Amino acid sequence: MSVIIWVAGVLAALSALGVVFSPQPLYSALSLVLTIGALAVIFLALNAQFLFVVQLIVYAGAVMVLFVFIIALLSPEAEDRVRVDFRFVIGAVVALGITVAMTVAARNGITFNASNVFRAQQIGQASDPYHAFAFDQSDIGTVNTAGNVQVVGGQLFTTFLLPFEITSLLLLVAVVGAVYLTRRRGTHTRPLRREAALARRPDLALEEDRIEVEVG
């Protein structure tokens, strides 16, 4: 198992570098798909089978397909070099900070909330950091006996009901907003819009358009 984790981890790291350094935007997006896939394999090796599948369906199967779609359709120019400017510095600092924070967390355990309801604690050896965590109230055996799906579902609809519902509401708002923004507005049909434009800037009209405007 740990061999699989190492292979997938190296693959994830390499493909993440590919996301940043690919000259072609489409290759960047596809590298991200590979990263997501490698992470999914790590989840599977850790026996988080539900997470593995969700990672593939949601990110690789849905979100990234849209990314690839947009990139391929707009076909932006290939970037010739990496520019080191203000944004680059900000990004580098944030990435470094997150990396440090995650390393510290992986070594020392994480506390998710103040009342210690859902605290991940370190139970494994430092030499085996991949199996270092278990949730306070249920050890690994219980989670897997019930099956990941049941545990995740149970937690979502009890402990995390409010955040879950708020998130779903947020997504619904986003969907409605997207539909509203892309909807073709109202009653203006094509010729009407053309006439309106001609009325605004008659000097740009063609010869026959000008005649129409004068007659009309």
Partner 1 sequence: MIGAFSDVFNVGRVGEDGIVVLFVKAVIVLLALATAAAYLTFAERKVAARIQLRVGPNRVGPLGLLQPAADAVKLLFKENAAPSGRDKLLYMVGPALAGGAAIFAFAAIPISGLTCVGGQLVGQGCNGGYAFHWDIIHVNVSLLFVLAVTSLGVYSLFLGGWSANSKYSLLGGLRSSAQLISYEMAVAFALVGAVILAGSLDLEKIVLAQHGVWFVVLQPLAFILYFAAALAETNRLPFDLPEAETELVAGYHTEYSSMRFGFYFLGEYINMVIVCAIATLVFLGGWLPLLPWIHSDWLGGLVGVGWFLAKVTALLFVMMWLRWTIPRFRYDRLMNIGWKLLLPLGLINIVVTGAIVAVRAS
* Nearest to partner 1 of 43, 198 (CB atom): 43
Q: Can you count the helices (H) and strands (E) in the chain?
A: 10, 3
Specify the DSSP class assigned to residue 136.
Answer: T
* Nearest to partner 1 of 64, 198 (CB atom): 64
Helix axis angle, 25-45 to 2-21, nearest 10° = 160
| CA–CA dist 108, 102 (Å, integer) | 10
In the complex, least distance from residue 135 CB atom to partner 1, rounded to whole angstroms: 17
Subset of residues 15 to 74 that bind partner 1, contact rule: CB under 8 A? 26, 30, 33, 44-45, 47, 49-50, 52-54, 56-57, 60-62, 65, 68-69, 72-73
* Nearest to partner 1 of 124, 202 (CB atom): 124
Q: Residue 121: what are its φ and ψ, rounded to 5°?
A: -120, 160
Which residues share a beta bridge with 134? 121
* Nearest to partner 1 of 78, 92 (CB atom): 78
Q: Is position 104 an interface residue for partner 1 (rule: CB under 8 A)?
A: no
Contacts of 210 (CB under 8 A, 6+ apart): 202
List residues near partner 1 by CB under 8 A: 1, 26, 30, 33, 44-45, 47, 49-50, 52-54, 56-57, 60-62, 65, 68-69, 72-73, 141, 144-145, 147-149
